[in-house]
Amino acid sequence: MALIVQAYTFLQQYAVSWMEAVPKKNSGAIRLGVLSTAQINPAAAFHPAETHPDVILYAIASRDAASAQKTAKQYKFQKSYGSYQALLDDPEVDAVYVSTPNGMHYEWAHKALKAGKHVLLEKPFTSNGEEARKLVETAQQTGKVLEEAFHWQFHPAAHAWREIIDSGKYGPIIATDSRMTASPGVPHGDIRWQYDLAGGSFMDCTYALSFTRYALHAETPVKVLSAVARPYEKDERVDAGMHTTLLFKDKRGDIVQSRVYTDLARSWVSGFIPRAWEFPAIEVETDKAVIYFYNAMMPHLYHYISVTEKATGKTTVKKQYKGGPKWGDVETSGGKGGRPSWSTYRYQMEAFVDRIKGKEPACWVPNEDSIAQMESIDAVYEHSGLGKRPSRSLEE
Beta strand pairing call for 223-232 and 235-249: antiparallel
**DSSP state at residue 228:** E
Dist CA 157 CA 324 (whole Å): 8
Dist CA 363 CA 12 (whole Å): 24
Q: Taking Cα atoms as reference points, which of 151, 152, 119 lies closest to residue 135?
A: 119
| Entry field: residues in the chain | 396
Q: How many helices (H) and strands (E) does the chain have?
A: 13, 16
Q: How far is CA 207 from CA 160, 234, 282, 287, 307, in A?
A: 18, 24, 10, 25, 21
What backbone torsions phi and psi does residue 228 show, to the nearest 5 degrees?
Answer: -120, 120
CA 11 to chain centre: 19
The residue annotated as part of the active site, out of 117, 123, 144, 388, is 123
Q: Is 123 a catalytic residue?
A: yes
Residues designated catalytic? 123
